[in-house]
Amino acid sequence: MSLADLQTHLGYTFRDEGRLRLALTHPSVAHESGEPTAHNQRLEFLGDAVLQLVLTHALYEKFPAFNEGPLTKARAKLVNRRTLAEHARALGIGVHLILSRGEEASGGRERASALADTFESLLGAIFLDGGFEAAREFVLREFSAAFGKLNVPPTIENPKGELQELLQARSPEAPAYHVVSTTGPDHDRVFECTVQHGGVELARGSGKSKKAAESDAALAALKKLREQT
């Protein structure tokens, strides 16, 4: 494919094609030549920041009731080296990489790390060439399918901690948990627990242990409080 084909796949045409070529230039070129040679690491640094900003803002708008913890987990699910490499492969970036002979011989065109880095470099180049809005449009277009599947942020790993953090924004008082019933035979107990705050019951939960019941109650309370905001 020509660079024109690549730009068609990117959905962006560069005003300065030199920026595109720089974004495709792997650092191995400079290492092999032994001379100062421009490569894409600075653009990668810039593109990473742009990517984080665009996705963070999109998640902030999509999930107004969720705080930093779940939003950070959601962003991490969207952006990792494997995912970025998959985006790069789908765009056909590998065949356009400008590599050293050694990197070429060792399979650099298909190396996940090189592809992921180049994806970020291309985003940095789009930002410099067309401004933030062009970069934003590229990111949202690339991540639209994955982003659309995020109906809720990833599972909360520490519901009690998340609930306490949410409630501390309202009052320094910590939530209180109380076991209200225990049913079933000794080998198969089921605990029911309430969580209260400021003397008001927020929710109830159940589980095979007191800890599990408290966690379930905290999850129920989080859902209820977020639906109210």
165 is catalytic: no
188 is catalytic: no
Rounded to whole angstroms, the Cα distance separating 158 from 70 reads 10
Count of residues making up the chain: 229
Rounded to whole angstroms, the Cα distance separating 132 from 138 reads 10
Rounded to whole angstroms, the Cα distance separating 152 from 154 reads 6
Is residue 222 packed enough to be buried (19+ CB in 10 Å), middle (13-18) or exposed (0-12)? buried
Bridge partners, 98 (sequence order): 25
Catalytic residue among 44, 103, 117, 120, which?
120
Please say whether the dihedral angle defined by the alpha carbons of residues 48, 49, 52 and 55, taken in this order, is positive or negative: negative
Catalytic residue among 44, 48, 103, 142, which?
48
What is the H or E stretch that residue 33 is in?
Answer: helix 28-33
Rounded to whole angstroms, the Cα distance separating 100 from 27 reads 8
Write out the catalytic residue numbers: 48, 120
